[in-house]
């Protein structure tokens, strides 16, 4: 088994190292971490499928050499390259003031009152959703119920689910940003409150049945705004603490994922825990993209514009055998699709280039806006940005522009635009990255 996973593992490590280096030198890139996680793991998985003949249970095809890994790298390079260029243009070049000299953007610290209000609102809304969950029957943590069935059929007040979403994404976004502000201020009380809010949120995810991918989304958004504030605010990181935290987090995530294998029956299907782990990491993760690529290259894509504008159910029906597809849909289980795969099926090799660059443009604009609002010290805008961020990552992961075409995306974008034009919040001070003489260490 070691020989089978060696090259995919090296690719996984290499791509992760490249992304980490980009993030370190270009902090806004961390706001792309969820999409990057999906892209990196799917690319490594695709290489595994090309090197090792594997029967993909989800799509009923055998894998083999096809060039899918190269195409995956190319299309993802287009997406992230376009997005990073857009962010660089809107964040850095606008900070040059037209003199051609690259400068680190200045970060503003919001007023203490704004920070308190943002924390109170985020905590209160999470508390309301917590009560909604605890008042509902068949809570996933205590039963064998799945998170999909729980949120669809068993949640006590569906209106709260629809209003805040099942991930309540604004909570970790606001808490992470305020944690960074607390470090800049050296406000111990706010550090405790925001750190406690993040931990409470992660428990909320576990309580409601989120497994590996759901926790990854929550963890990365719990880190991203803090990292941007810390890097531009001059906070130095203790690499030893970061290594310990990352190791503990990874171990915890792997333990959670083993539960997910049992829920899906992967361990039994692959002959044990280790077989299930290898299959989940190196076959299941990229199986849908590999199948989409295979069909597109063979001229039997079975894709149309409806797939690109639809939802996960359309992808499942197009790629999975009918009986298995119906089972996935009834059980609320999503296949791990991606935008490059759907783009290939719908547009072919050249059409996929335009589709991926268009998404990169939109994604870059959202990340640039996110970064600018962090730098301007606007914690209340995080409530809106969290959802635009989530929907962009959903577009990439599910391979569908359905979220972007929905009225909620337009409404949130409009509200964010109005907020930027009309409201000018009070800020206590500004911190220039290049002028800090006594950076704090965390």
Q: Which tens digit of pLDDT belongs to each residue from 173-229?
A: 999 999 999 999 999 999 999 999 999 999 999 999 887 778 888 889 999 999 999
Write down the number of H helices and E strands in the chain. Answer: 19, 4
The DSSP letter of residue 22 is H
CB 211 within 8 A of CB 259: yes
Could you state, in order of their start, the residue ranges of all structural domains in the chain? 2-432
Q: Which tens digit of pLDDT belongs to each residue from 332-373?
A: 666 667 899 989 988 888 999 999 999 999 999 999 999 999
Q: Helix, strand, coil shares of the chain as percentages rounded to 5? A: 75, 5, 20
Cα maximum dimension of the chain: 64
For the segment 69-93, the average pLDDT, to the nearest whole number, is 94
Q: Which tens digit of pLDDT belongs to each residue from 20-56?
A: 999 999 999 999 999 999 899 899 999 999 998 888 8
Q: Say how many CA atoms lie within 13 Å of 414 toward its Cβ.
A: 5
Distance CA 16, CA 276 (A): 23
236 SS3 class = strand
Distance CA 29, CA 51 (A): 31
Per DSSP, helices labelled H in 95-169 are: 112-134, 147-149, 158-164
Confidence of residue 263 (pLDDT cuts 50, 70, 90): very low
3-state SS of 399-441? Answer: CCCCCCCCHHHHHHHHHHHHHHHHCCCCEEEEEECCCCCCCCE
**pLDDT of 439 strictly over 50:** no
Phi, psi of 64 (to 5 degrees): 180, 180
Q: Name which of 181-190, 202-211, 275-284, 311-320 the model is least confident about.
A: 275-284
Query: Could you tell me which of 178, 183, 170, 173 has the C-alpha nearest to residue 194?
Result: 178
| pLDDT computed for residue 57 by the predictor | 78
**pLDDT of 144 strictly over 60:** yes
The DSSP letter of residue 203 is H
Instruction: Decide: pTM greater than 0.75.
Output: yes
Say how many Å lie between the first and final Cα of the chain, rounded: 40
For the segment 159-176, the average pLDDT, to the nearest whole number, is 94
């Amino acid at each position: 088994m070691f020989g089978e996973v060696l090259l995919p593992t090296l690719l996984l490590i290499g791509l992760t190292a490249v992304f980490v280096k980009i993030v370190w030198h270009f902090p806004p890139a961390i706001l792309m971490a969820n999409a990057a996680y999906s892209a990196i793991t799917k690319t490594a998985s695709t290489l595994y499928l090309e090197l090792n003949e594997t029967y993909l249970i989800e799509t009923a095809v055998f894998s083999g050499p096809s060039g899918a890994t190269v195409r995956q790298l190319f299309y993802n390079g287009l997406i992230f390259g376009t997005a990073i260029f857009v962010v660089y243009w809107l964040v850095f070049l606008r900070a040059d003031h037209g003199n051609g000299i690259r400068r680190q953007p200045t970060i503003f610290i919001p007023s203490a009152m704004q920070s308190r209000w943002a924390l109170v609102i985020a905590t209160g809304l999470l508390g309301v959703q917590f009560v909604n969950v605890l008042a509902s029957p068949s809570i996933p943590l205590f039963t064998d119920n799945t998170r999909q069935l729980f949120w669809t059929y068993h949640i006590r007040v569906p209106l709260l689910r629809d209003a805040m979403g099942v991930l309540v994404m604004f909570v970790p976004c606001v808490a992470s940003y305020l944690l960074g502000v607390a470090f800049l201020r050296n406000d111990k009380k706010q550090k405790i409150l925001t750190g406690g809010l993040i931990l409470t949120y992660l428990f909320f995810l576990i309580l409601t049945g989120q497994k590996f991918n759901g926790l990854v989304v929550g963890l990365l958004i719990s880190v991203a705004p803090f990292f941007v504030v810390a890097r531009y605010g001059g906070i130095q990181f203790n690499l030893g603490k970061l290594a310990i935290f990352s190791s503990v987090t990874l171990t915890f995530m792997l333990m959670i994922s083993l539960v997910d294998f049992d829920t899906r029956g992967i361990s039994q299907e692959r002959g044990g825990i280790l077989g299930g782990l290898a299959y989940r990491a190196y076959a299941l993760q990229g199986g849908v993209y590999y199948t989409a690529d295979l069909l597109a290259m063979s001229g039997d894509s079975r894709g149309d514009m409806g797939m690109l504008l639809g939802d996960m159910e359309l992808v499942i029906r197009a790629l999975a055998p009918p009986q298995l597809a119906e089972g996935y849909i009834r059980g609320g289980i999503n296949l791990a699709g991606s935008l490059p795969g759907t783009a290939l099926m719908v547009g072919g090799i050249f059409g996929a280039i335009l589709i991926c660059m268009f998404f990169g443009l939109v994604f870059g604009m959202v990340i640039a806006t996110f970064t600018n609002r962090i730098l301007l010290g606007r914690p209340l805008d995080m409530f809106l940005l969290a959802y635009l961020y989530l929907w962009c990552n959903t577009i990439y992961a599910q391979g569908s522009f359905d979220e972007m075409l929905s009225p909620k995306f337009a409404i949130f974008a409009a509200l964010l635009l109005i907020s930027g034009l009309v409201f000018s919040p009070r800020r206590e001070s500004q911190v220039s990255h290049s002028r800090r003489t006594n950076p704090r260490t965390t």
